[in-house]
Structure 1
Amino acid sequence: MPPPVPESVLSEGLPGREGASVRETFELFSAVAPKGWRVELIEGEIYVVPPANGEHEEIVTEVVEQVIARRVDRELRNFTGIGLSLPGATDTVRVIPDLVIAPKGSFDDQREWHAPDPVLLVTEVTSTSTAGRDRAEKSRAYARAGIPVYLLIDREAGEAVVCSGPSGDDFGHKSIHKLGTQVPLPAPLGFTLDTAEF
């Protein structure tokens, strides 16, 4: 797992930018990150995440295809690469989920970071570099933001975890399913995800 940005950078700022705040450092890292890399700010820590591998992207694509085919509400759309600005325990959290499902037009503007209000579901597919954050910090952030459903595809554990009923820093309901089985998604999605291809 790549470590967060070194404490020396967070406390002293970037070379030539002494005294830069964590937020300023995050904005600078975001601006200069190579294409395909994600820069996230979670509870005061900056994480630079490399591009995903092929297996990861195959799973994200399979979820997208199933949502398109099975969604009841034809106005729902799949978004990848959307930045969300979420309430943190101490500061704003900035994350880029693997998949966001929201109504058409929810992000029809020029902003880079969006409020979570229209989001109905977020999906994260774990990688060795992100699994710990996907299971803990991101789960808390999504619950705190009131996102109705968090779908965690945990490749390392071989599980799909469906979290719903956000309350405070946690979800009131969590169901765990072995990958390869049928995974029911609650409203507002309301269909079963087939994880046989995962």
Structure 2
Amino acid sequence: MTVMTDRPQMLTADFETLARIGAREVEGLRLEFITGKMGVKAVPDGDHDRIVVWLARMCMQYRPEQWLHVERGLMVEEYRSGRARPDALMAPDDAFVGQGEWADPTPVLMVVEVTSYDSDTDGRDRREKPHAYAQTGIPVYLLIDRGNGLVLVHSEPDGQRYETVQTVPFGKDVCLPDPVGITLPTEPLKDWVR
């Protein structure tokens, strides 16, 4: 039997309907649709939440004109046919006013993912999402990789991938390039991993 890998599992509109119904029926269910495949995001643990709160405070301190939106649905990939729900993203505070569940990513300066301790993290956060976010043209993808104790800063999207990836171990400062323009002291991240 031949498996077709170049076709999506379903149409984007069908995914949106399923995600909307699933979110109502099962509390905490978070579905995504990337590279034509549906995935389920793990419900975040307390340390995951703490990292997002820490990052929000850092961003507010250095970029008060921007906001760190949490779990905002985005239309991603080359033709906006994917649907991602990043852990957080940086954009102006009113960037998504009037938009539905899946927003236009144009005003987004940075997307953030914090890895979970599930089997899907490697494929989803480390491989599929960098590609989807680069195709979308989002300037910076920040991956806080708790499993490996690393912060990865992807920048300079070329429409298919990020040309620059900076990798820094927890404990060292990391510079988030323009248009974000923040230096993060990552020492606190050591306290929020297993």
**8 A Cα contact 1:164 1:172, kept in partner:** yes
Alignment correspondent of 1:83:
73
Deviation at 1:45, TM superposition (A): 1.1
* Structure 1 segment 120-131 matched on structure 2, within 5 A: 120-129=109-118, 130-131=120-121
Deviation at 1:158, TM superposition (A): 0.9
Name the count of aligned residue pairs. Answer: 178
Question: What CA distance in whole angstroms lies between the structure 2 residues aligned with 1:159 and 1:142?
Answer: 19
Deviation at 1:70, TM superposition (A): 1.7
**8 A Cα contact 2:12 2:82, kept in partner:** no
CA deviation digits over 1:36-65, x for unaligned, max 9?
321101112111223111111111111111
Does the residue aligned with 2:38 lie in a helix, a strand or coil?
strand
CA deviation digits over 1:12-59, x for unaligned, max 9?
xxxxxxxx8574255224322323321101112111223111111111
Gapped runs of 5+ residues in structure 1? 1-9, 12-19
Alignment correspondent of 2:85:
96
Displacement over 4 Å in runs of 4+: 20-23
Question: What CA distance in whole angstroms lies between the structure 2 residues aligned with 1:22 and 1:146?
Answer: 20
Does the residue aligned with 1:160 lie in a helix, a strand or coil?
strand
After TM superposition, the score normalised by the length of structure 1 is 0.83
* Structure 1 segment 20-169 matched on structure 2, within 5 A: 23-33=13-23, 34-71=26-63, 74-88=64-78, 92-129=81-118, 130-132=120-122, 133-169=124-160
* Structure 1 segment 9-28 matched on structure 2, within 5 A: 23-28=13-18
Alignment correspondent of 1:16:
none
Cα RMSD between the aligned structures?
2.0
Moved more, 156-165 or 33-42: 33-42
Matched AA of 2:177: P
Does the residue aligned with 1:118 lie in a helix, a strand or coil?
coil
Gapped runs of 5+ residues in structure 2? 1-7, 190-194
Question: What CA distance in whole angstroms lies between the structure 2 residues aligned with 1:102 and 1:85?
Answer: 15
After TM superposition, the score normalised by the length of structure 2 is 0.84
Structure 1 residues 134 and 78: alpha-carbon distance in aligned structure 2, compared to 1, 3 A threshold: same
Does the residue aligned with 1:197 lie in a helix, a strand or coil?
helix
